[in-house]
Amino acid sequence: MKTVLRTLARVIANAVPRVLGVLLIAGAVAIPAYAYWHSTQPLYYGAAAQVSVRREPRPLQVGIAGALAIPANAYWPSTQALYYGPAAQVSVPLPREPEARRAMRDYQDGVVVLCYHDLSYRAHNRYTVTPDAFAAQMTTFRASGFHTIGAAEFAAFVRGSRVSLPSRPLFITFDDGAKGTSIYADGILRRLSYRATVFLITGDVSHHQPYYLDWPEVEAMARSGRWSFGAHTYQGHGKITIDKAGDVGPFLTNRMWLPAAKRVEALDEYQARVSHDLDRSISDIQDRGLPHPYLFAYPFSATVEPTNDPVIIPILKRMLAERFWGLMDNTSSATLIRPDMRAPLPRVEVFHGMGAKELLGRVEDTIARSPARASRRRK
């Protein structure tokens, strides 16, 4: 009996480590396998209470999915136009009394043109006018007897057509197409029965949100009758590389450096590049059912300089004259714009911090720099 017990004890002693080893090996395989299988199954919590059947994410799955999804998710939006739709408009209070009122010379043989860029309560540069300042300026012009005109009237006037202008005609323009025109300016113009024109960088419309206008906003503004639209290039409101050293200059007034060819573009290449941009700026507007833009504003007011080749400037002037009736820039010594004036046509540029009284004074100087003419009846 003792011998049997000793033998059984030796068998158990030898078997236990082997069994434990087998169990450990089996567990090492089975437990991860079960964990993986379990992670792919819906978790059921019983039938007594109905619950949403869901798959509980696991770290490994999330990591693999993220590694694949993040680059794809980053690439896809970069290829899409971001449509935000018409932004909510903000009602800007009008001042009860105009900031200034002046009895200045009446005129009807020319037009004063103002140039704004953006309206915002967060002035990020000198070109951003606050909505309150804009409201004060418009109220002051209204009280001083100025009447606004639209792009069609102005374009016909500068072309020499017979146009009936109101007394003290004022042409209000905004360059670039920032969203502040819809959010803040539109309501102010509506209450004062004023009109304005936006020179659009059409390649930026519905892109770089939420700074620029969306096409739905442009269309809604046009339907209101208060807004008209001119061209400010398609993608030409920027600077290009113009030499081997990497120097840059305005898109329109420079020949582009072609690094692969190690040269600047030829004259025919320059003409093709600029022609394509100008034509696209026109077609973008017309494709939305808006009138042909016969007015153009130079980006950066760069009309002839800076340039890396003066030979291209006559080519640029010809291309613009073939497409537009009026070419606008900005200057510190603007005058009334009249039909016999040569392009570019000067505008009074409005900057951040400029009060209504100061702006009205600049407009008075603009009128004073323009000798009075014998009145001519226009119809």
Q: How far apart are the first and last CA of the chain?
A: 135
In a domain, 253, yes or no: yes
378 in Cβ contact with 162 (< 8 Å) = yes
Task: For 2-16, write each residue's pLDDT tens digit.
Answer: 554 555 555 465 555
CA 228 to CA 122: how far, in whole Å? 26
- Domain extent at residue 124: 112-368
Token readout for 149 is 């005109």
Domains of the chain: total: 1
The answer to whether residue 3 sits within a structural domain is no
Average per-residue pLDDT for the chain: 85
Q: Residue 298: CB partners within 8 Å, gap ≥ 6?
A: 252, 327, 328, 329, 344
For the chain, give the percent of residues with pLDDT over 90: 69
**pLDDT band at residue 87, thresholds of 50, 70 and 90?**
confident
Query: 203 — phi, psi (to 5°)?
Result: -70, -15
137/104: higher pLDDT: 137
Does 43 score more than 60 pLDDT?
no
Number of other CB atoms surrounding residue 220 within 10 Å? 16
Q: Looking at residue 128, what is its pLDDT?
A: 97
- Indicate the range of 2-6, 122-126, 255-259, 368-372 predicted with least confidence: 2-6
Instruction: For residue 34, name the pLDDT band (cuts at 50, 70, 90).
Output: low
- Per-residue pLDDT band at 371 (split at 50, 70, 90): confident
- Distance, in Å, from the CA atom of 302 to the CA atom of 249, rounded to the nearest integer, reads 10
**CB of 239 closer than 8 Å to CB of 250:** yes
Residue 1 pLDDT > 70, yes or no? no
pLDDT of residue 332: 82
Q: Is the pLDDT assigned to residue 101 strictly greater than 90?
A: no
Does residue 295 sit within a domain?
yes
Is 95 within the bounds of a domain?
Answer: no
Whether 214 is in a domain gets the answer yes
pLDDT at 81: 44
What is the predicted pLDDT for the residue at 270? 98
Looking at residue 100, what is its pLDDT?
73
CA pair distance 216, 48, nearest whole angstrom: 52
CA-to-CA separations, 64 to 32, 55, 57, 68, 72, in angstroms, rounded: 17, 16, 11, 6, 13
Q: What is the pLDDT of residue 54?
A: 43
158 assigned to some structural domain: yes
Specify the pLDDT at position 209.
87
Each residue's pLDDT tens digit, 153-169: 999 999 999 999 999 99
- Whole-angstrom CA distances from 223 to 183, 217, 219 are 16, 10, 6
In this structure, are residues 94 and 188 in contact, taking their beta carbons and an 8 Å threshold? yes
pLDDT of residue 9: 56
CA 45 from chain centre, in angstroms, equals: 52
358 inside domain: yes
Residues 6+ apart with CB under 8 A from 340: 160
Question: CATH code at 187?
Answer: 3.20.20.370
Q: Does residue 248 lie in a domain region?
A: yes
**Residue 174 is encoded by which pair of tokens?**
């905004």
What digits encode the pLDDT tens for the residues 156-206?
999 999 999 999 999 999 999 999 999 999 999 999 999 999 999 999 999
